[in-house]
């Protein structure tokens, strides 16, 4: 008989079935990749198919095997990165074979398996497709064992790799999780013959938890754990990339909003969009009445307060605004601004640095105990930047990457950017709703693992500043009309794009949203065409 795993077929000693598979392989429908192992020819690279089926292949080769070494940390085959940064084949699987008497190796297209004699599954190990995934404690202990690279990667990641993995686990499992891992390691070390490795692991965990003072060999981990303001070196590397990119651009767009009327109108638009990006959303006219007429926010007093407090801060910034002369002044200022911004949300502990880790999607921001040290190192870089545009974008990104507060980080960051720009006599940067994805995409490019790029973020900021500098009016109606001509208030990125302001464009309001009349006409035409097509389809074939 044979078992099928996606595009992989493994035989189980049925001669008739084997002959059938051999005939299909001869006809080109299958590819024989190993003894009793066939891949379905469907256009996918055979290496990808085989590597993806590592678990059933390992289970067939060494039933009950337990992943170990660097494979155990990933719970997947380990793959090297090529010169372009992409992972390449083969994938390497290291495992303990509880029934094996000696080391064995299996080489297949896209997959290299190495097994070693040793103990089978222990308490905490988890069954997976006929093999076992080790507990975190076992994976860490076994990765501290010595190994050498022989015609491939070394089996284990060594002490440096374990220090980084323990720190990663602190982010995901937190302190209680690390303590549980430590307790389990103490229980299973004897079964693994890893008593010496246990002492090393206890030193690492204790140092990262702050209960011991053993030396750390991974320089990046040691930097994050230094007793004097530890910092996040990964964040600093991203800021370095940004600073180097900013050093190559120096836009000179003077602030056109120096008059009280122009400043108030642009500050309202800025406050509206910076809150909209974060999910605090009102229709434009409603936000206008909240800010200028003090109208209640219809059961949303906290959201209304967010908008008015943002407006109050950005509207009060004027040319010549004094810069923080020290990191302590900088930290005091961002704390004070965050406290004012969120004064209606005491549950968010406004103005206080976070005590728990925060994240957005797959991005985990700087850990709480690294906030002050990272802000300190980042401020030293900020102090060396001279151009207001560079200072503004850098200060903004420093706060966004560190995320020092429980809430309001993005808004606080953009307020500080406005302060650097307007204080330096340059046009502020307003990021409208229609351009949110480009802005967020720029930040994601900067935080991409292993390949940080600052150019997308800088381009997005330059684009927003260019448009902002071209819209300056003391009349709010005219200001809103010009911003609407750029499609700024739309979320429909499929049918609209961020354009230059145009005084000759007719603006139409629908459902409280202003946009060019041509946009609404295109939308109506598309809807009409869809209705016409639907009318041509027989009723019995229409999808309801």
**Residues marked as binding for ATP?**
407-414
Q: Could you tell me which of 167, 242, 237 has the C-alpha nearest to residue 377?
A: 237
Q: What letters, b where the CB count within 10 A reaches 16 and e where it falls short, cover 103-117?
A: eeebebbbbbbbbbe
- CA-CA distance, 374 to 402, in Å (whole number)? 7
Pairs from 291-295 (Cβ < 8 Å, separation ≥ 24): 292/268, 292/476
Rg (CA), the chain: 30
- CA-CA distance, 518 to 498, in Å (whole number)? 14
- CA-CA distance, 404 to 366, in Å (whole number)? 8
Q: What is the DSSP letter of 94?
A: E
176 close to 209: Cβ distance less than 8 angstroms: no
| Choice among 174, 403, 487, 541 that is catalytic | 403
305 close to 287: Cβ distance less than 8 angstroms: no
Residues whose CB falls within 8 Å of the CB of residue 234, separated by 6 or more in sequence, listed in order = 220
137 close to 124: Cβ distance less than 8 angstroms: yes
Phi, psi values for residue 467, rounded to 5°:
-70, -45
207 close to 200: Cβ distance less than 8 angstroms: no
Alpha helices by DSSP H, 278-408: 284-292, 301-315, 327-341, 371-384, 388-402
DSSP states along 108-175: ETTEEEEEEE-----TT-EEETTEEEPPHHHHHHHHTS----SSS--SS-HHHHHHHHHHHHHHHHHH
Phi, psi values for residue 498, rounded to 5°:
-70, 115
Q: What is the DSSP letter of 272?
A: H
Q: What is the DSSP letter of 533?
A: H
Helix (H, G, I), strand (E, B) or coil at 464: helix
Has 257 been annotated as catalytic? no
Residues whose CB falls within 8 Å of the CB of residue 445, separated by 6 or more in sequence, listed in order = 452, 453, 454, 455, 456, 457
Residue list for the binding site: 407-414
- CA-CA distance, 540 to 544, in Å (whole number)? 10
Q: Please, is 455 exposed, middle or buried when counting C-beta atoms within 10 Å of its C-beta (0-12, 13-18, 19+)?
A: middle
Residues with a known catalytic role: 403
């Amino acid at each position: 008989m044979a078992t099928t795993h996606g595009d992989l077929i493994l035989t189980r000693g049925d001669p008739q079935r084997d002959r059938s598979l051999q005939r299909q392989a001869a006809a080109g429908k299958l590819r024989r990749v190993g003894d009793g192992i066939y891949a379905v020819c469907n256009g996918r690279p055979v290496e990808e198919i085989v590597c993806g089926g590592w678990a059933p292949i390992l289970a067939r080769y060494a039933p009950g095997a337990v992943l170990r070494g660097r494979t155990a940390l990933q719970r997947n085959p380990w793959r090297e990165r090529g010169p372009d940064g992409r992972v390449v084949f083969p994938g390497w699987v290291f495992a303990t074979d509880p029934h094996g008497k000696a080391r064995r190796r299996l080489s297949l297209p896209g997959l290299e398996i190495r097994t070693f004699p040793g103990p089978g599954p222990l308490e905490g190990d988890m069954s997976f497709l006929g093999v076992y995934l080790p507990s975190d404690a076992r994976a860490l202990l076994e990765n501290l064992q010595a190994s050498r690279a022989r015609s491939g990667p070394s089996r284990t990641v060594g002490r440096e790799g374990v220090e980084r993995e323990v720190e990663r686990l602190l982010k995901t499992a937190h302190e209680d999780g690390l303590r549980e891992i430590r307790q389990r390691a103490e229980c299973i070390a004897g079964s693994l013959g890893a008593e010496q490795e246990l002492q090393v692991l206890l030193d690492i965990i204790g140092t990262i938890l702050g209960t011991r003072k053993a030396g750390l060999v991974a320089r990046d981990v040691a930097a994050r754990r230094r007793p004097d303001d530890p910092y996040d070196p990964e964040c600093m590397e991203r800021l370095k990339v940004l600073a180097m990119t900013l050093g190559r651009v120096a836009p000179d767009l003077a602030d056109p909003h120096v008059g009280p009327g122009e400043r108030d109108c642009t500050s309202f638009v800025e406050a509206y969009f910076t809150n909209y990006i974060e999910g605090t959303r009102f229709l434009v006219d409603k936000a206008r009445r909240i800010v200028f007429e003090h109208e209640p926010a219809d059961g949303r007093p906290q959201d209304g307060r967010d908008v008015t407090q943002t407006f109050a801060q950005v509207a009060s910034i004027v040319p010549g605004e004094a810069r923080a002369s020290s990191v302590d002044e900088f930290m005091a200022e961002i704390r004070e601004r965050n406290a004012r911004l969120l004064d209606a949300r005491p549950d968010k502990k406004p103005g206080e640095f976070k005590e728990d880790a925060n994240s957005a999607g797959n991005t985990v921001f700087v850990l709480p105990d690294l906030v002050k040290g990272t802000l300190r190192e980042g401020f030293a870089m900020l102090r060396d930047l001279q151009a207001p545009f560079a200072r503004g974008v850098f200060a903004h990104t420093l706060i966004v990457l560190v995320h020092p507060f429980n809430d309001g980080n993005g808004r606080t960051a953009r307020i500080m950017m406005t302060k650097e720009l307007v204080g330096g006599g340059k046009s502020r940067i307003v990021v409208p709703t229609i351009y949110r994805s480009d802005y967020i995409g720029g930040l994601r490019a900067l935080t991409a693992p292993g390949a940080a790029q600052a150019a997308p973020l800088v381009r997005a900021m330059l684009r927003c500043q260019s448009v902002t500098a071209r819209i300056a009016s003391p009349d709010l109606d005219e200001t809103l009309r010009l911003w609407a001509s750029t499609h700024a208030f739309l979320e429909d990125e499929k049918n609209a794009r961020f354009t230059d302001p145009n005084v000759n464009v007719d603006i139409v309001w629908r459902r409280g949203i202003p946009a060019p009349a041509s946009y609404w006409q295109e939308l109506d035409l598309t809807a009409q065409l869809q209705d016409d097509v639907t009318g041509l389809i027989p009723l019995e074939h229409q999808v309801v």
